[in-house]
Amino acid sequence: MPEQHTTTPYDALLLLSFGGPEGPDDVVPFLANVTRGRGIPEERLKEVGKHYFLFGGVSPINEQNRALLEALRKDFAEHGVDLPVYWGNRNWAPYLTDTLREMAADGRRRIAVLATSAYASYSGCRQYRENLADALATLTAEGIEPPRVDKLRHYFNHPGFLRPMTESVIASLADLPEDVRAGAHLAFTTHSVPTAAADTSGPVEDHGDGGAYVAQHLDAARVIVDAVREETGVEHPWQLVYQSRSGAPHIPWLEPDICDHLETLHAQGVPAVVMAPIGFVSDHMEVLYDLDTEATAKAAELGLPVRRSATVGADPRFAAAVRDLLLERAAAERGESVERCALGALGAGHDLCPVGCCPARAPRPAAAGADSPYA
Ligand SMILES: CC1=C(CCC(=O)O)c2cc3nc(cc4[nH]c(cc5[nH]c(cc1n2)c(C)c5CCC(=O)O)c(CCC(=O)O)c4C)C(CCC(=O)O)=C3C
Ligand SMILES: [Fe+2]
């Protein structure tokens, strides 16, 4: 008999992601979606899109999500989890609203949502909750009874997220020339955000000093550093640094940028660097362009050996972690006591975002939180 796991009360899992262009003609409409409501002229969008055009107008993110969907379905099938898995995006097809409409038509009434962002932040958490609220409002306006949506907790400290990244950091170190390996620095990178957004990330009690966003990344980095030391016997100096800054130059964003950091390390005589993009679930354009293209060119110019470690992508251990989070939440919703799997010092985060968590600059309805207008 295969193991059987009840997912009650859930009747579906929704993979909720950012979306990306899949050809040159998609780039400007995709960027218009991303920057919707801000009236950015087409000329500027073409400029912003130049990273995408360098790669034939194709972002890797959709292919990564298709691979993750396949890994999730395989994992569920192998572990007696009988739950359909759907996919919807904020900025490109398959659009979230279309997917939720399809799910409602399929009779799905109670949906667990996995967002492809592991950490707290407006962009990575509340904005997805706003997208869910917008989609539910559209369904309601169409006379469709909106399903209930529950967002699974942040997984930055889940072993199924951290273990594959730890192994890829060790593999990147091993790939460096032997004479520079022991002295290599680890540069953990994540998406920069405005410092104002970082400071208000997470629950209100975590606000200030980079908020939950920075605290969660530091916690994840420490787990990886400790495991690398245990497994290689070498204490590698490390720092959390940032990448992919956008926005107006007078608005402060989290710093230092990875390229400036590489210059600083080189000036200090550091012999090599492993760049570990812990802020990203898969190889987004930010990883391919900002790290593999721009930062790698900067390192070559400096004569500094660098390696970029892998993201988790569709690693089966990550798929298993999603199953764990799903079954954990289902049990919690049934009122059962649950054991919550988490590494690091912060422990498992909340199921339901409290009021004031990762606030928007202009308040808008957000689903799947204590301030949700939906059930
Ligand atoms: C924290 C964070 C994540 C991680 C959490 C998560 O994964 O959700 C993330 C993910 C992503 N960001 C992405 C792309 C973009 N982000 C932009 C703009 C912005 N991101 C921001 C933050 C984040 N972003 C912010 C504060 C802005 C400026 C304001 C705004 O515009 O909201 C812009 C506009 C142009 C520009 O300003 O450069 C683009 C095109 C893609 C797709 C990549 C691909 O195609 O592979 C992904 C996964
Ligand atoms: Fe972004």
User: What pLDDT is stored for residue 48 in this prediction?
Assistant: 85
Residues 165, 129 within the same domain:
no
List, for residues 267-305, the tens digit of each pLDDT value: 999 999 999 999 999 999 999 999 999 999 999 999 999
User: What pLDDT is stored for residue 208 in this prediction?
Assistant: 96
When pLDDT is averaged across residues 97-108 and rounded to a whole number, the result is 98
* pLDDT exceeds cutoff 60 at 255: yes
- Domain for residue 67, yes or no? yes
Residues 206, 261 within the same domain:
yes
Confidence of residue 4 (pLDDT cuts 50, 70, 90): low
User: How many structural domains does the chain have?
Assistant: 2
- Domain for residue 6, yes or no? no
* pLDDT exceeds cutoff 70 at 171: yes
Q: Pick out the residues of the known binding site for Fe-coproporphyrin III.
A: 59, 128
Q: Pick out the residues of the known binding site.
A: 59, 128, 191, 286
- Domain for residue 281, yes or no? yes
Confidence of residue 2 (pLDDT cuts 50, 70, 90): very low
Residues 125, 150 within the same domain:
yes
* pLDDT exceeds cutoff 80 at 324: yes
User: What pLDDT is stored for residue 187 in this prediction?
Assistant: 98
CATH number of domain containing 202: 3.40.50.1400
User: What pLDDT is stored for residue 43 in this prediction?
Assistant: 86
CB of residue 31 inside a 6 A radius of ligand 1:
yes
List, for residues 10-42, the tens digit of each pLDDT value: 999 999 999 999 999 999 999 999 999 887 888
User: From ligand 2's centre to the CA of 330, what distance in Å?
Assistant: 30
* pLDDT exceeds cutoff 80 at 1: no
CB of residue 236 inside a 6 A radius of ligand 1:
no
Residues 139, 175 within the same domain:
no
Residues 83, 142 within the same domain:
yes
User: From ligand 2's centre to the CA of 171, what distance in Å?
Assistant: 28
How far is it, in rounded angstroms, from Cα 31 to Cα 175? Answer: 36
Residues 91, 213 within the same domain:
no
Strand order in the sheet with 12-17: 85-89, 12-17, 110-115, 148-151
- Domain for residue 173, yes or no? yes
- Domain for residue 366, yes or no? no
Residues 93, 137 within the same domain:
yes
CB of residue 344 inside a 6 A radius of ligand 1:
no
- CB-CB contact of 212 with 204 (8 Å): no
- Domain for residue 351, yes or no? no
CB of residue 124 inside a 6 A radius of ligand 1:
yes
Quick one: which atom of ligand 1 is closest to the CA of 288? 46
- pLDDT > 90: percent of the chain: 93
Q: How does the average pLDDT of the chain come out, rounded? A: 96
- Domain for residue 274, yes or no? yes
Burial letters 162-200, b for 16+ CB under 10 A, else e: bbbbbbbbbebbeebeeeebeebbbbbbbbbbbbebbbb
Residues 134, 194 within the same domain:
no
User: From ligand 1's centre to the CA of 194, what distance in Å?
Assistant: 12
User: From ligand 2's centre to the CA of 335, what distance in Å?
Assistant: 36
Residues 48, 141 within the same domain:
yes
- Structural domain range at position 125: 12-155+314-333
- Domain for residue 27, yes or no? yes
CB of residue 319 inside a 6 A radius of ligand 1:
no
- pLDDT > 70: percent of the chain: 99
Residues 49, 168 within the same domain:
no
When pLDDT is averaged across residues 246-264 and rounded to a whole number, the result is 95
How far is it, in rounded angstroms, from Cα 75 to Cα 55? Answer: 31
Residues 185, 256 within the same domain:
yes
Tell me: ipTM over 0.95.
no
Residue type, 5: H
The last residue of one of the domains, among 275, 308, 341, is 308
